[in-house]
């Protein structure tokens, strides 16, 4: 610290005490009697103010920052010089603490506070950069908190720079020094190169790294050249968050901010804000329900498995029923055709024996009136057709039957399922010998429609399908509803475990059940009780975790000489 007497007044401001002091300046608690406002007055030390170029630059940049008006920027009210020629800045006096002080008192803030602070400071930087102002000294001591951890403000524009203003624009003297806090400065600024808004984003990245991990990314050292070498040797320090629930998006944000090359960082604070808001949404989603991944509910799984099993059982059973029913219906049709064929053969035997062709044709015409009989033909002993429903067959041998269409034989009646010339649909064909007193006097072909059999089989198939569908819907619906109750209890257990994950070790499941779930609830309660006891024991003996101390003074550094090592960047 610099030993300087406390002035009674600076400009028109009455001095009430000292708020803080650094290597380059002291901050007084002041009061503006004209408007009765409490202010903070930052005044350069005498030896720093002795540098005329730096003094002029301090005043010019402070006046430029005085035009900034943003809810997350400390407002600058006035600038001027003391009676002994030292420049000062009169600014808003805040009632809160600096981030560094708050962390020392209370430990590192929670992740929501860290991300909310980062959004607020990035928004302030976005505004300042848009106005052409680069802060150049982003660090925990220059971030003030009010209303607990809710509202952050960026302070101390004492070494801010207006972009677009040449270094020798003030007084024609080339600036030979740079200001900043080395541990938080970007590599290009440490090496004396022209820096821009992206160097502020790098400094904010160092602050975020410190808050997320509890330590600075590079070891603190008073040797700037050594720090530069360390940065080049380890350009991407490992990020190991204190909180295991840190979103991967936030870790990626910090890594991008700390990129050594400015082109690899965020190119504007607005880009950073967009990603920070994504990290906030991801964290909120995971905290509200970390089990939001896509799953197939047990309710659906159980109902589906029951449905598949029931379908297979019903299909096998109903297929067997359908096969039996089809065989029975077909058998009835064959019995009917065989019996009808034997009856017609008996009636036509006498006519064939007497050679009464007219009576035979009359018999055929009479029988053909039956709608179920689609074909009938009677041939004599020589095989020549005497009468037929297909007139072109009369006087010709009966058509040969295809052996592939053969079905069965019963009492000399051969059954076929075949087509007849001139008929579109297949039918049941019965070939019956016509006998008179055990002598074959002719042959009969009888075709009976199979449509009623097919219709009966289709009806059976539809009934089976309807029964299968109704049964499945009823059983699966009932199972889906019945499975709702155990899933509600599983949700209860899931919510209880999430409460434990969030640190609520006092929670107990009060529901009493006399089944396996009841035993599971009891095991959970015993586990949480044990964890609660261990936590209380560890809290009594373990020291409070805190972050590495990051309070560092702003330094005025000479611009390094251009060396081959510096030129590498």
The answer on whether 277 is annotated among ligand-binding residues is: no
Range 442-460 average pLDDT: 84
To the question of pTM greater than 0.75 for the whole model, the response is no
pLDDT of res. 95: 84
Range 502-515 average pLDDT: 81
Fold of 97-290: Transferase(Phosphotransferase); domain 1 (1.10.510)
Confidence check: pLDDT of 264 > 70: yes
Report the alpha-carbon distance of residue 257 to residue 130 in Å, rounded.
Answer: 19
> Could you tell me the two tokens for 73?
């920027």
The model's confidence at residue 192, banded by pLDDT at 50, 70 and 90, is confident
The model's confidence at residue 544, banded by pLDDT at 50, 70 and 90, is low
Q: How far is CA 326 from CA 182, 264, 461, 465, in A?
A: 94, 78, 10, 15
Nearest to 194 by CA among 171, 205, 178: 178
Helix (H) or strand (E) holding 26: strand 25-32
- Contact in structure between 30 and 40 (CB atoms under 8 Å): yes
Tell me which of 166 and 137 has the higher pLDDT: 137
> Could you tell me the two tokens for 323?
């096969």
442: helix, strand or coil? strand
Query: Which residues fall within 8 angstroms of residue 195, CB to CB, at 6 or more apart?
Result: 134, 136, 161, 186, 188, 189
Q: Cα torsion at 313, 316, 319, 320 (round to 10°)?
A: -110
Range 333-359 average pLDDT: 88
pLDDT of res. 422: 65
pLDDT of res. 547: 66
Largest CA distance in the chain: 157
pLDDT of res. 37: 92
Helix (H) or strand (E) holding 558: strand 555-558
Nearest to 399 by CA among 428, 369, 431: 431
Range 487-496 average pLDDT: 82
Three-state SS sequence of 362-413:
HHHHHHHCCCCEEEEEEEECCCEEEEECCHHHCCCECCCCCHHHEEEEECCE
Give the tens place of pLDDT for each residue, 77-130.
888 888 888 888 888 888 888 899 899 888 889 999 999 999 999 999 999 999
What mean pLDDT value characterizes the chain?
83
The domain limits of the chain are: 1-93, 97-290, 302-458, 492-541
pLDDT of res. 477: 84
For tokens 């390094």, the residue is 560
pLDDT of res. 568: 44
Tell me which of 252 and 505 has the higher pLDDT: 252
The model's confidence at residue 1, banded by pLDDT at 50, 70 and 90, is very low
pLDDT of res. 562: 57
Tell me which of 75 and 206 has the higher pLDDT: 206
Range 395-417 average pLDDT: 86
pLDDT of res. 487: 78
Give the tens place of pLDDT for each residue, 322-345.
888 888 888 888 888 888 888 988
- Contact in structure between 42 and 94 (CB atoms under 8 Å): no
Confidence check: pLDDT of 174 > 50: no
Give the tens place of pLDDT for each residue, 5-39.
788 899 899 999 998 887 678 889 999 998 999 99
For the chain, what's the residue count? 569
Confidence check: pLDDT of 155 > 70: yes
pLDDT of res. 140: 93
CATH class of domain segment(s) 492-541:
mainly alpha
The model's confidence at residue 276, banded by pLDDT at 50, 70 and 90, is very high
pLDDT of res. 78: 87
Q: Considering the domain 1-93 in this protein, what is its CATH number?
A: 3.30.200.20
CATH class of domain segment(s) 302-458:
alpha beta
The model's confidence at residue 49, banded by pLDDT at 50, 70 and 90, is confident
Tell me which of 508 and 289 has the higher pLDDT: 508
């Amino acid at each position: 610290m610099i030993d300087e007497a406390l002035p009674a007044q600076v400009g028109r401001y009455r001095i009430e005490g000292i708020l803080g002091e650094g290597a380059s300046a002291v901050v007084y608690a002041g009061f503006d009697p004209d408007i009765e406002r409490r202010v903070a007055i930052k005044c350069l030390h005498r030896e720093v103010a002795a540098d005329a170029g730096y003094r002029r630059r301090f005043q010019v940049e402070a006046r430029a920052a005085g035009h900034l008006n943003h809810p997350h920027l400390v407002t600058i009210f006035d600038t001027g010089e003391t009676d002994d020629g030292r420049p000062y800045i009169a600014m808003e006096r805040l009632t809160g603490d600096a981030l560094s002080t708050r962390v020392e008192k209370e430990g590192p803030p929670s992740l929501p506070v860290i991300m909310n602070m980062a959004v607020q400071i990035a928004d302030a930087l976005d505004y300042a950069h848009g106005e052409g102002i680069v802060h150049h000294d982003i660090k925990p001591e220059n971030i003030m908190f009010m209303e607990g951890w809710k509202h952050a403000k960026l302070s101390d524009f004492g070494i801010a720079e207006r972009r677009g203003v040449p270094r020798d624009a003030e007084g024609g003297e080339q600036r030979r020094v740079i200001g900043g806090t080395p541990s938080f400065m970007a590599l290009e600024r440490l090496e004396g190169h022209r820096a821009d808004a992206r160097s502020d984003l790098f400094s904010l990245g160092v602050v975020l790294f410190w808050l997320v991990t509890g330590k600075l990314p590079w070891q603190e050292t008073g040797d700037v050249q050594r720090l530069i070498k360390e940065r080049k040797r380890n350009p991407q320090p490992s990020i190991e968050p204190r909180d295991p629930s840190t979103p991967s998006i936030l870790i990626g944000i910090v890594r991008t901010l700390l990129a050594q090359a400015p082109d690899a960082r965020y190119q504007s604070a607005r880009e950073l804000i967009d990603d920070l808001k994504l990290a906030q949404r991801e964290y909120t989603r995971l905290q509200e329900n970390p089990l939001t991944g896509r799953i197939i509910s047990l309710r659906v799984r159980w109902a589906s498995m029951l449905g598949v099993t029931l379908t297979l059982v019903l299909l096998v059973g109903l297929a067997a029923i359908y096969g039996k029913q089809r065989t029975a219906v077909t058998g009835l049709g064959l019995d009917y055709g065989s019996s009808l064929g034997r009856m017609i053969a008996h009636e036509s035997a006498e006519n064939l024996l007497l050679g009464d062709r007219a009576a035979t044709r009359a018999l055929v015409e009479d029988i053909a009136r039956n709608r179920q009989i689609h074909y009938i033909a009677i041939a004599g002993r020589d095989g020549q057709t005497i009468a037929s429903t297909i007139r072109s067959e009369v006087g010709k041998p009966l058509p040969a039957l295809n052996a592939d269409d053969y079905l069965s034989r019963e009492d000399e009646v051969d059954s076929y399922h075949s087509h007849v010339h001139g008929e579109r649909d297949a039918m049941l064909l019965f070939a019956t010998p016509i006998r008179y007193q055990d002598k074959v006097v002719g042959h009969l072909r009888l075709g009976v429609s199979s449509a009623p059999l097919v219709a009966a089989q289709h009806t059976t198939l539809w009934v089976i399908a309807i029964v299968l569908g109704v049964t499945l819907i009823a059983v699966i619906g009932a199972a889906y509803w019945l499975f709702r109750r155990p899933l509600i209890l599983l949700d209860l257990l899931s919510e209880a475990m999430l409460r434990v994950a969030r640190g609520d070790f006092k929670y107990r499941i009060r529901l009493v059940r006399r089944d396996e779930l009841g035993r599971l609830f009891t095991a959970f309660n015993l586990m949480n009780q044990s964890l609660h006891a261990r936590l209380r024991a560890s809290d009594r003996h373990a020291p409070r975790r805190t972050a590495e101390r990051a309070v560092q003074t702003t330094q005025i550094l000479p611009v390094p000489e251009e060396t081959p090592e510096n030129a590498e960047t």
